[in-house]
Structure 1
Amino acid sequence: MCRWIAYAGAPRALEDFVFDQKMSLIEQSRHARKSKTEVNGDGFGIGWYGRGEQPGLFRDVLPAWSDANLRSLCEHIVSPMFMAHIRAATGTATNRQNCHPFVKGRYMFAHNGQVGSYRQVRRALEMLIPDSLYHYRLGTTDSEILFLLLVYYVEQLSVVKAFAKLIDTVNTVMNAAKVSEAFRFTSTFSDGQQLWAIRYSSDHKDPSLFYAHLPEGAIVVSEPLDDVKSKWQSVATNHVIRLDCCGQVAIHALPC
């Protein structure tokens, strides 16, 4: 399973969370605590909002701990809203197009989880991506399909309802294919003004998701960045957490 962080609030340097914590994302890339996969070395990515509407993006296939460019960028990039992701591949190639975050226009997305029996349902899911978005399909992961479908639904629905629509769509396709493996979906999504994260799985074994209030913002993470237990709150399964540009937090149950 992958690991990711997502921040919103007063501008912060990315290194504050990617590097400068006891259990920073870099440390998790080597020694994750709450993941089936301790090592997450199949690439990484950072995405951040700056002066323009579209976020900046840097991804590579090296393990995050061994990339000197990542350290330098995180020292110098200061942003009010950003994501960082380290990848543990689950059956698709290790290449730059398969690294997270994924970006389309102002939207950005990162994922931890998987579509069960992905090879069996991949074609059916890809066929649901509308023509207007299909040329953004650059990689081969289930995560990228989820992102493009979510973008499509967000243009029609609120983000919370779009998440629910996406989950229903994927489960319908999996059920039609008689797939017994689970759909696990712990993800973060942003439009540059607000940031959302969701925790869901079809088998109630969803990957962990935590959040913490900070002095001038808030952060959502796959696992805590330190051992201060009182600081971190678990997001309940089947719930969406929303952070606004000031780091204010709201939590919503997924619609039935």
Structure 2
Amino acid sequence: MCRWAAYRGEPLYLEELVTSPAHSLIEQSHCATRAKTATNGDGFGIAWYGDRPEPGRYRDILPAWSDCNLKSIARQIRSRLFLAHVRAATGGGTRRDNCHPFVHGRWCFMHNGQIGDFEHLRRSMENMLEDELYAARTGTTDSELLFLLALQFGLDRDPLGAVAETLGFVERLAAHMARPVLVRFTAAFSNGEDLYAVRYASDRKAPTLYAAPMGADGGYCLVSEPLNDDNAWAEIPDGSAVIVGENGVDVRLFGAADIPSGESPAVAPFSRAAGSDLQLT
């Protein structure tokens, strides 16, 4: 399983998540504490938003702890919205195209989890993509394909609905092909304005997700595991979606869509904590 961290708020240096904390993302790349594997050394990536609509990105196949360029970049770049990821490969080779975050237009996406029996589902999943999105696929991971399917199903129009439809499609496809129905999905994604995250699993064993306020004026950080021992970190429940936007944090119930989006949304209000500490009850 991978580890990731994302932030939206007043501009911060990337090092505030990636290198500086006691349990920073680089620390988690070789000593994760809330994952099945402690080492996440199969590459890394960061994506950040600046003055242009599309995000900047830096990825490599080196372990995050051994890349001096990553530490230098994280120390120099400030951003109001950024995503960072360290990879433990569950499928797909160790190559740059398979490192998260994935970017398409103004969107970026990173994922921790897996699709059961993916190699048997892969071709049918790819066949759902329009030519433009199929041509945009450069790697071999299930994560990148989930991202492209979400774009296919309307990520621009309805981000959470598109992800719900994507996961529902994969589950229905697996059942139709008499394959194990297993989707484990904890992901963060952004259009450069709002930061979204989803924690979901068909077997109720989704990878972890935590949130805490960070920085000034309502900034929030979403992570696979806490960056320090501060008790401000709140665990996001399985079956939830998170939106971090101008008005603070919105946490909602989330489920994979049983029917195409636009007919019946699979997300519903759960709680709201605009401009204050995250409240889950």
Q: Partner residue of 1:145? A: 145
Change (3 A) 1:87 1:247: farther
How high is the TM-score relative to the length of structure 2? 0.88
Q: Partner residue of 1:180? A: 180
How far the C-alpha of 1:60 sits from its partner, in A, is 0.2
**1:116–1:181: 8 Å Cα contact kept in structure 2?**
yes
Q: Partner residue of 1:80? A: 80
Q: Deviations over 1:11-39 (max 9, x none)?
A: 00000110010110000000101111110
Residue type of the alignment partner of 2:232? K
Residue type of the alignment partner of 1:147? F
CA separation in 2, counterparts of 1:179 and 1:4? 29
How far the C-alpha of 1:132 sits from its partner, in A, is 2.1
Residue type of the alignment partner of 1:221? V
**1:9–1:247: 8 Å Cα contact kept in structure 2?**
no
Residue type of the alignment partner of 2:188? T
Instruction: Flag structure 2 segments of 5+ consecutive residues without an equivalent.
Output: 255-265, 268-281
Q: Determine if the alignment matches structure 1 residue 233 to structure 2 residue 195.
A: no
Q: CA RMSD in A?
A: 1.3
Q: Partner residue of 1:202? A: 202
Instruction: Flag structure 1 segments of 5+ consecutive residues without an equivalent.
Output: none
Q: Partner residue of 1:21? A: 21
Alignment of 1:45-64 (within 5 A): 45-64=45-64
Residue type of the alignment partner of 1:178? A
How high is the TM-score relative to the length of structure 1? 0.96
SS in structure 2 at match of 1:154: coil
Q: Deviations over 1:125-180 (max 9, x none)?
A: 11111112111100000000001111222356421211211111110111122222
Q: Quick one: percent identity of the two aligned structures?
A: 45
**2:48–2:81: 8 Å Cα contact kept in structure 1?**
yes
Residue type of the alignment partner of 1:219? C
CA separation in 1, counterparts of 2:213 and 2:238? 19
Asked which structure has the greater RCO (Cα within 8 Å, sep 6+), the reply is 1
Residue type of the alignment partner of 1:239? S
**2:210–2:233: 8 Å Cα contact kept in structure 1?**
yes
CA separation in 1, counterparts of 2:103 and 2:178? 32
**2:155–2:163: 8 Å Cα contact kept in structure 1?**
no
Q: Deviations over 1:195-247 (max 9, x none)?
A: 1000000101110001001242000000111112x211111111100011x47
**1:112–1:186: 8 Å Cα contact kept in structure 2?**
yes
CA separation in 2, counterparts of 1:13 and 1:214? 12
CA separation in 2, counterparts of 1:184 and 1:155? 19
CA separation in 1, counterparts of 2:14 and 2:186? 21
CA separation in 1, counterparts of 2:112 and 2:8? 19
Residue type of the alignment partner of 2:92? T
How far the C-alpha of 1:44 sits from its partner, in A, is 0.2
Residue type of the alignment partner of 1:120? H
Query: Size of the alignment, in residue pairs?
Result: 254
